[in-house]
Amino acid sequence: MPHILSFPKITRRAWKVWYRNMVVFVRTWQVNFFPPLIEALLYLFAIGIGIGTYVKEIEGIPYVNFIAPAILAIAVMNSAFFECTYGSYVRMYYQKSFDAMIATPLSIEDVIAGELLWGATRSVIYVVIMLPVLAVFGVISLPLALLAIPLGFIGGLMFAGIAMCFTSISPGIDTLNYPAFLFITPMALFSGTFFPLTLMPVFLQYIAFALLPLTHLVAIMRMFTLDALSWTVLFSFAWIAIVTAFFCLLSINLMRRRLIV
């Protein structure tokens, strides 16, 4: 039996799984297109303009501009995470789609890799839909903010990998609520999203930087949309690259262990 961190043999057939999910997504585009659009507007109005009326500026930056990258980063996290937890779990357990797929030349490694790529693609689609809204409100700095699109893929892949690990060990679909509420929701609030990390006690800042993936995604996203690059972008990219590789590999191995007996 291969080791839990062994390098899986993935072929380009993984894209066939990605393609299947893409076809279904495009088929139901009405229900898929509007949530990100509305989500962007809700955040902008409720927090950006609502709270922004009182807060005005953070570190010399207009409050709406400060949270705009956080809106993007949270959307990247949520779309990949929920796609590869609930979405993948439904396809795996209720629809038995994975069983049907591995009866074809696809291997389980191809299937899971395809699911991860699809989760990341969903993040990209969300970013692509949200960016024009933010641009219309003039809260992001173009053209550098366009880098949010490829960043959406990398960040999406990271959260897809983390999500798939939870999916691979979750005894039922209900237990996926635990990571959603205990991990994702707090992270959306305490990763330097709606207020700077520096407001938190120092040890919590260290924890956020060491352990919360969203912290690094928000940090890079903010450098892009505010046109304020610094050398720390390299550190955050390195962190994300390592974590993404680790969890994607782990999730494929865990899924094989769950499904191939």
Partner 1 sequence: MPDIIDAQDLKKNYGSTVAVDGIQFTVRKGEIFGFLGPNGAGKTTTMKMITCVSPRTSGTLSVLGMDPDKNPAEIKQRLGVVPQETNLDPDFTCFGNLYYYSRYFDIPKDEAEKKADELLEFVQLKEKGDVAVEKLSGGMKRRLILARALVNTPDLLILDEPTIGLDPQARHLIWEKLRNLQAQGNTIVMSTHYLDEAERLCDRLVIMDNGKILVEGTPAELVRQYAGHEIVEVETSDDVIACLTELKAPFEQTGDMIQITATTDAAREIARSVLDRCKPKRMITRPATLEDVFLKLTGRTLRE
Alpha-carbon distances, residue 175 vs 63, 181, 182, 183 (angstroms)? 36, 11, 11, 13
Torsion of CA 120, 229, 241, 115, to 10 degrees: 0
- Least distance from partner 1 to the Cβ atom of residue 261, Å: 6
Torsion sign (Cα): 113, 216, 74, 174:
positive
Q: Are 144 and 51 in contact (CB under 8 A)?
A: no
Under DSSP, the state recorded for 142 is: T
Structure token pair of residue 213: 């993936």
Task: Pick between residue 102 and residue 250 the one whose CB is nearest to partner 1.
Answer: 102
Task: Pick between residue 11 and residue 177 the one whose CB is nearest to partner 1.
Answer: 11
**Under rule CB under 8 A, residue 102 binds partner 1:** yes
**Under rule CB under 8 A, residue 220 binds partner 1:** no
**Under rule CB under 8 A, residue 11 binds partner 1:** yes
> Which of the residues 157 through 186 are near partner 1 (CB under 8 A)?
none
**Under rule CB under 8 A, residue 112 binds partner 1:** no
Alpha-carbon distances, residue 26 vs 20, 129, 140 (angstroms)? 10, 14, 28
Task: Pick between residue 87 and residue 155 the one whose CB is nearest to partner 1.
Answer: 87
Residue from 6, 104, 185, 230 touching partner 1 (CB under 8 A): that is 104
The site for partner 1 (CB under 8 A) is made up of 11, 13, 16, 19-20, 23-24, 27, 95-97, 99-107, 260-261
